[in-house]
Amino acid sequence: MTALRDVDLEIPEGEIHGLLGPNGAGKTTLCKILSTVLLPTSGRAEICGYDVVADTAAVRRLIGIVFGGERGLYTRLTARGNLQFWASLYGLSGAQAQLRVTTLLERLGLEQRADVRVETFSRGMKQRLHLARGLIGDPQVLILDEPTTGMDPVAAQEFRHLVRGLRAEGRTVLITTHDMAEAEAICDRVTLIDNGSILATERPSTLGTWITRYARVRADGVPPERVSSVTAALEALSGVAAVRESAPGTLVVDTAADGAAPEVLRLLLELGITDVATTRPDLAEVYLQVIGKRGMRVD
């Protein structure tokens, strides 16, 4: 089995680069290769000009890794204890280590809980500690593997703000995610990856277009006798890809053109149906719609 094939990607310094793809796409494999825990069977990868296979020691000084979720922390240590531990692994000691640890705790807003065991932390706090841990070696390049998994929206928002701050310091960030909106929100460029291959590298504004273009409108409380007439009216709109009744009285409208969703909403309101909502398409749907049509999907 080949986890990655023909991946050719260059990320300029100081860019926040998103690696977007469904689970099992090969995002983590790429991260593992770049973070020196997996050797590629062929091909080459470099971090700041250092080869991940030949110059492992240099690469390890240049990178920081950040996981999402619970894994990767010593939950029985305090936040400070965790950072002090990792500081020693990066060759820091004494006043220098203290300074780095304190600075990071303050910078990530953890100084209040610095001396509390991590097992009591919320998901958002754990994630900030993860980031602090990743920064302990003052890395040029940060590899963030699904960092916002399982975070509540507010915490995820805060976290993204912190990531944007890293760019300002001139660090390069590679972030994997399966959330289009997240990729759109923080990345300078996004690479779509599936089945171990790169499908496309795009500006996030393109993603934004996809998100609005393939929005989905849901209408509840459509009187049974009007379902077929409303359906017909919706189908007549340009830009509407499909209309179906997902449950009695509930219509789901898929759009496939810029500005189609507002048109659908307007029509529904005109028809007196007020219980409506728009939802963003998920990645799989965008794949099917965009990439499938462009014939780039590798199956």
Answer for the pair 229, 255: CB distance below 8 angstroms, yes or no: no
What is the C-alpha separation between 212 and 34, in angstroms, rounded? 33
CB of 159 to other proteins, least distance (A): 18
CB of 214 to other proteins, least distance (A): 30
Nearer to other proteins, 130 or 160 (CB): 130
Residues paired with 47 in a beta bridge: 50
Nearer to other proteins, 65 or 267 (CB): 65
Number of other residues whose CB lies within 10 A of the CB of residue 201: 19
Supply 76's token pair: 């029985």
Nearer to other proteins, 3 or 222 (CB): 3
User: Among 136, 144, 204, 207, which residue's Cα sits nearest to residue 176?
Assistant: 144
Residues paired with 19 in a beta bridge: 176, 191
CB of 151 to other proteins, least distance (A): 16
What is the C-alpha separation between 299 and 246, in angstroms, rounded? 28
CB of 283 to other proteins, least distance (A): 19
Nearer to other proteins, 54 or 269 (CB): 54
Whose tokens are 């915490």? That residue is: 155
Contact residues for other proteins (CB under 8 A)?
Answer: 7-13, 28-40, 43-50, 57-58, 60-63, 65, 67, 70-78, 81, 84-91, 93, 117, 119, 133, 137, 140-141, 145, 172, 174
Nearer to other proteins, 156 or 174 (CB): 174
Nearer to other proteins, 183 or 265 (CB): 183
CB of 262 to other proteins, least distance (A): 40
Supply 101's token pair: 């640890």
One-character DSSP codes across 147-187: TTTT--HHHHHHHHHHHHHHHHTT-EEEEEES-HHHHHHH-
Q: What are phi and psi of 255, to 5 degrees?
A: -110, 160
CB of 34 to other proteins, least distance (A): 5
